[in-house]
A and B are shown apart, each in its own frame.
Chain A
Amino acid sequence: MNRRTLLGGLLAAGSVTTLSACSSGITSLNESSGSTAGGGSSKGGITIGTANFTENQVLGYLYAAALRKAGVQVKVRPNLGTREIVIPALKAGDIDLLPEYQGALLNYLAPKDDSSEPGTMQNALTLALPAGLQVLPYGQAADSDCFVVTRATARKYGLTSLADLAKQNGRLVIGAAPEVKKRRVGAVGLQEVYGVEFKEFKSLDSDGPLVKGALKKGDVDVANLFTTDTDIAANGWVVLADPKNLIPSQHIVPLIADRKADDTVRKALARLGNILTTEQLTQLNSQVDNDKKDPEDVADAYAKQHGLA
């Protein structure tokens, strides 16, 4: 931490121009990440980071709209990368707030924890989080990882659940984001819980054009997508059932640095969490992916419509 600040300072001093906080996605070197004692304060403004997939951008901009309405200064840094990248950045103070998912976050922090009910998960998260970070109350909207196959593949191999995949060991190719190869809700858990061995793991993207394109083209047999993607129904893809509950419940939950978590922030995000439903979130995602609207515009329009902005 000390080394980082020193380095940043040296560079800032050496650069011709001082970096000003511009709009979305632009890093400011001037922002110090010193922690305040006690409950934390959002006075200095909050930087919201988002992971590299559509829904997380939408959620980030929804958080931004709700916080702005509450009078908090916000900046959104979209598309920062995977959980493996953004959580260390949150710890380091590069960002202050992240839209997260209960189960996936718990899996990342404590892979052995098998809590499955949202309430217990919330407690488990609180225990598992490193000092300086906390989760705020989870919202009603949820989005889980899921594994889907095309109808033709389902018929060909007789696939209805994840357990069926093991009968085709060594025959099927799975497509998912690269990080899923090492995640429990991914290649690791499928092997441990269901005994599935794939012929190949293809590194693609998080519910993006690569993985969906590969599934359509037949380059992969099984694809890791999110349940809030309208393309699953639109293409008639089959979501494989999870009888052994490998995939945990995934309510959306704000993950925030203690130093920024004050009552204003808590209230604003709790209000959003109570209003936003899974169906609405699914629709918002589709507006971005299919209607090519900007995540920011989609989020702002929703916030306005629901009295959040």
Chain B
Amino acid sequence: MTVDWSWIGDHTDDLTSLTLSHLQAAMTAVFLGLVISLPLAVLAHRVRPLRGFLLGLSNVLFTIPSIAIFVLLLPVSGLTRTTTVIGLTVYTLVVLLRNTVEGLDSVPAKTKEAAKAMGTRPLRTLLTVEFPLALPVIFAGVRIATVMSISLVSVATYIGDGGLGQLFTDGFQRDFPTPVIVGVVLTILLAVVADALLVALQYVLTPWRRRRA
């Protein structure tokens, strides 16, 4: 199996736009996942009976093959980017919900009591005490969700989207390894770079943790 380097040279424009499209799908899904999972996680953290239900439901959703989710969305959103994004968001939800709940759980009860004793209102406590302290665990979830989504985008190639995943079906159809190799390498690179950027972002966002390290 050899790499046809000239093919890569001839397709830099295509590869760039596929990479951007790939990244866009993954990032949108993680963003939407965060928007949905943060309030749900607070709910699950506060209301015990809901917690089991929400976490259980998201765990079951996680066991459904992603191709099936994309196909089942076809009557709703058709062969569009929307289908890809909804499908990916479902999977990010599982990771983000679980980590955010665990993060909120990890905040010591004493800290919360102290905030209460100082007369801090619950919402303020949540935003200024609990979330910041839960941030490392939430961030771990965001990193996992991001890397996972970047890998998962390519499955949407079965419904005509999928960013770099389109290189897989293309190479498969004409028995041509170069696009497939390029697609795999770019996907992994994208994931590694995105993960590194998130680590850097976390470093910036949680200055109080640096002293300990």
Interfacial residues, chain A to chain B (CB-CB below 8 A): 3-4, 7-8, 11, 14-17, 19, 22-29, 49, 52-54, 77-81, 85-86, 88-89, 92, 94-95, 205, 208-209, 288-289, 292, 294
Contact = CB atoms under 8 A, between A and B. Distances in A.
Contacts of B13: 23
Across the A-B interface, give the 5 residue pairs with the lowest CB-CB distance, nearest first: A80-B160, A27-B81, A22-B17, A89-B79, A15-B28
A145 B158 CA distance: 23
Interface string B20-42: 11001001100110010000000
Interface in B62-86: 74, 76-82, 84-86
Given A14-B31, A79-B160, 5 more contacts: A4-B78, A15-B28, A15-B31, A88-B74, A205-B173
Nearest to B177: A292
Interface in B136-190: 157-161, 163, 166, 169-170, 172-176
A49 B157 CA distance: 14
A222 to B, nearest CB: 22
Interface SS, B side = helix
A54 B76 contact: no
A19 B81 contact: yes
A96 to B, nearest CB: 12
Interface of B: 4, 11, 13-14, 17-18, 20-21, 24, 27-28, 31-32, 35, 74, 76-82, 84-86, 157-161, 163, 166, 169-170, 172-176
A77 B82 CA distance: 15
Contacts, number: 111
A11 B28 CA distance: 9
7 contacts: A8-B82, A17-B24, A17-B27, A19-B24, A81-B160, A292-B175, A292-B176
A85 B55 CA distance: 34
Contacts of A294: 11
A28 B82 CA distance: 9
B76 A4 contact: yes
A89 B35 CA distance: 30
Given A85-B74, A89-B78, A11 B161 contact: no
A16 B79 contact: no
Contacts of A22: 17, 20-21
B174 A288 contact: yes
B166 to A, nearest CB: 5
Contacts of B176: 292
Nearest to A289: B174
